[in-house]
Structure 1
Amino acid sequence: MTTFHIAPLNNDITAALQHKIDSKTKPIGSLGQLEKLALQIGRIQQTQTPALNKPTIVVFAGDHGVAHEGVSPFPQEVTYQMVFNFLQGGAAINVFTKQNGIAIKVVDAGVNFDFNQHPGLVHAKVALGTKSFLHEAAMTPAQCETAIERGAAVVKELHEQGCNVIGFGEMGIANTSAAAVIMSLLCDIPLEQCIGRGTGLDDEGLIRKKVILAESMIRHNKIEKTPLNVLSTFGGFEIAMMCGAMLQAAAAGMLILVDGFITTSALLVAAKINEQILDYCLFTHQSNEQGHSLMLAHLKAVPLLSLGMRLGEGTGAAVAYPVIQAAVSFLNEMASFESAGVSNKA
């Protein structure tokens, strides 16, 4: 297993940062969560004048064998079709990244389709989708390790190019099923509370999904519930790549923008491997997918937004990015009582 060395945040700068925030021309605490965000970003970057450089959202795509068991209303082909949509700039994530000046990178982590070379696509395919975890492990330990390493390599290259703030998105039909089981096992939460409607299952479909996932957990109930065992047994190549990408981002001291249900399941695995990663994470929104609020509570995370979104792709991270910019801007540009000649309270 690749080892990621994630440094705990140095608290030496905390008091100076808090003083700078409190000295701005406003009542103490009046910018609410923006103040906490500014403090966290300043601590991550170890500076009183943080900067957001070359923000990027990486969308990892992978297929899941369990899709063939009827756990999603959409056919597996939608995964590769949406990859083409990303590459053509037609998806929601393309719209929101363009609006907010964020670069986008699309990665084939393990889509069941052979793509030709495309300048906008990173070819990191481990296999043509995972196996169905209803019958066998989704991937081998070696495949899981490969996915983690390739995800880390994508981030390492972006960091070397000057990126210091990175978000993650995903595409993979049936990946809410994988995330629900990962969540149940790693958070020790009953499976029933982790399963949602995904891309829009009706009541009958939801019942089938619950039955399939419960049977899958029974089939694999003898596995040792380590983070990597759970990931390789039930995860997807895109989830494993995000896990490695997040660990690498934290090791490089980058800000990590955490999106919704699937992305948080990848972070959950990463945090069980090295909990220091959580100090580098900004939780951008609470997904409307059942289970996400419980997963966030398990991680003691407070999301920036709650807009009823459940699309994935990194859309929550992209939509929340202006809020993160606002936190950095007020810290860097807002006058202090002293510099503005404004009387502070007696």
Structure 2
Amino acid sequence: MTFNCTIPVISDLHDTALTARLQHRIDHKTKPLGALGRLEPLALRIGQILGSESPQLEHPQMLVCAADHGLAARGVSAYPSDVTWQMVENFLAGGAAVSVLARQHGLALTVVDCGVARDFALRPAVPGQPQLLVRKVAPGTHDASTGPAMTAAQCAQALANGMDVVRNLPGNALLLGEMGIGNTSVASLLLSRLCGIPLDECTGAGTGLDAAGVARKRAVLAQALQANEGAVEPLDALAALGGFEVATLVGAVLQAASERRVIVVDGFITSAAVLVAARLQPHVLQRCVFAHGSAEPGHAHLLAHLVPHPQARPLLDMGLRLGEGSGAALAWPLLQSACCILREMASFEAAGVATQAA
């Protein structure tokens, strides 16, 4: 496929001097070396991303991208496609898990209709309330088990939409979320194709399929891989196997990374979007913090594939498999705490505390 889309160049954040200053600052806080465990490398990572020894997370944005999938008609999910638009309404009404958590933690919530098979009534933006952006490429993708889910032009449009959405959002932190019945199938397909992992190891129960349902899902996904066997490059695979919301998230990640925003990655589907973005621009991973390890089996394989990048180890392990950005929201206070430690915790010298026993 030929893609008419400009991919931003993501620079290497490696700055030996800044890293040394940050590590010195962390090591000389009033605590034993390493006593704050994984909060310390998290603080280091945020300081590196933001280029500051006293980082401040400002105007954090929760971005939830939603779309429908032609594959859903093949029974790859325990829920009907109508749940996609119904959950979008739930997000906007404030009743979904991500809505509740965004309110709790002061995260601005933006929901993007990337390709939902229903039109939503436009509503005025209200400060402090979730906002809806309509960036619909089409009302759902084609069935990937019979051929490409998207055309190259559609995929490029979704990428451009994601970049444009992030360009127009304030702040220096982006939390990723998604909604789309059938999109664990998309993540499984991308993981299998781009990482060469057997499909059976990439595919789980998603929204709650029983054993027979998982077997049916795997059979359908095998058909999708075969129908698109020539789509092996990242953008080709994304167009052939992906969804509009995943492609929009890829664009959002690329733009956020180019702006040196902290990117908080939720679960399996958003990690698949990061995988594609990183295949296009590897330094994307320097800007990412992985919020949690999903109960979906493919997520562990995906995170393991990102090693040796240390931030591929997720902050939380709570058996989550909801999506929406819920895990990213739950992890958010850890990022805030890491920044507060860097900015506010006293050094041994400033506090007049001895650094070792006499």
Band of TM-score, shorter chain = over 0.9
Give secondary structure in 1 for the equivalent of 2:64. strand
**Distance in 2 (alpha carbons) for counterparts of 1:65 and 1:302:** 32
Q: Which residue of the other structure, out of 86, 90, 98, is the alignment partner of 1:93?
A: 98
The residue aligned with 1:6 is 10
**Distance in 2 (alpha carbons) for counterparts of 1:109 and 1:180:** 20
**Distance in 2 (alpha carbons) for counterparts of 1:10 and 1:187:** 26
**Distance in 1 (alpha carbons) for counterparts of 2:317 and 2:231:** 35
The residue aligned with 2:211 is 203
Q: Which residue of the other structure, out of 138, 141, 149, is the alignment partner of 1:127?
A: 138
Give secondary structure in 1 for the equivalent of 2:200. helix
Counterpart check, 1:332 vs 2:336: no
**Distance in 2 (alpha carbons) for counterparts of 1:47 and 1:75:** 47
User: What's the TM-score, normalizing by structure 2?
Assistant: 0.94
The residue aligned with 2:280 is 273
Structure 1 residue runs of 4+, over 3 Å off?
Answer: none
Tell me which amino acid in the other structure corresponds to 1:278: L
Structure 2 stretches of 5 or more lacking a match?
125-130
How far the C-alpha of 1:3 sits from its partner, in A, is: 2.2
Give secondary structure in 1 for the equivalent of 2:168. helix
How far the C-alpha of 1:4 sits from its partner, in A, is: 0.6
Give secondary structure in 2 for the equivalent of 1:151. helix
Is 2:265–2:291's contact at 8 Å kept on the other side of the alignment? yes
1:197-218 deviation digits (Å, cap 9, x = unpaired): 0000011111100111112211
The residue aligned with 1:247 is 254
Is 2:85–2:117's contact at 8 Å kept on the other side of the alignment? yes
Tell me which amino acid in the other structure corresponds to 1:332: R
Is 1:10–1:46's contact at 8 Å kept on the other side of the alignment? no
Is 2:146–2:223's contact at 8 Å kept on the other side of the alignment? no
The residue aligned with 1:213 is 221
The residue aligned with 1:167 is 175
The residue aligned with 1:152 is 163
Give secondary structure in 2 for the equivalent of 1:291. helix
**Distance in 1 (alpha carbons) for counterparts of 2:291 and 2:228:** 33
Tell me which amino acid in the other structure corresponds to 1:53: E
1:247-277 deviation digits (Å, cap 9, x = unpaired): 0000001000000000000000000001000
The residue aligned with 2:69 is 64
1:162-183 deviation digits (Å, cap 9, x = unpaired): x100111000000001110000
Identity over aligned pairs, percent: 51
**Distance in 1 (alpha carbons) for counterparts of 2:201 and 2:24:** 42
Tell me which amino acid in the other structure corresponds to 1:233: A
Give secondary structure in 2 for the equivalent of 1:199. coil
**Distance in 1 (alpha carbons) for counterparts of 2:181 and 2:159:** 20
How far the C-alpha of 1:118 sits from its partner, in A, is: 2.1
Is 1:110–1:129's contact at 8 Å kept on the other side of the alignment? yes
How far the C-alpha of 1:290 sits from its partner, in A, is: 1.1
Is 1:258–1:317's contact at 8 Å kept on the other side of the alignment? yes
Q: Which residue of the other structure, out of 308, 316, 323, is the alignment partner of 2:319?
A: 308
Q: Which residue of the other structure, out of 27, 31, 37, is the alignment partner of 1:26?
A: 31
1:98-137 deviation digits (Å, cap 9, x = unpaired): 1111110000000000112123210100000000001121
Q: Which residue of the other structure, out of 189, 193, 203, is the alignment partner of 2:201?
A: 193
How far the C-alpha of 1:10 sits from its partner, in A, is: 3.7
**Distance in 2 (alpha carbons) for counterparts of 1:219 and 1:335:** 60
The residue aligned with 2:78 is 73
Counterpart check, 1:293 vs 2:293: no
The residue aligned with 2:127 is none
Structure 1 stretches of 5 or more lacking a match?
none
How far the C-alpha of 1:154 sits from its partner, in A, is: 0.6
Give secondary structure in 2 for the equivalent of 1:57. strand
Q: Which residue of the other structure, out of 322, 327, 331, is the alignment partner of 2:333?
A: 322
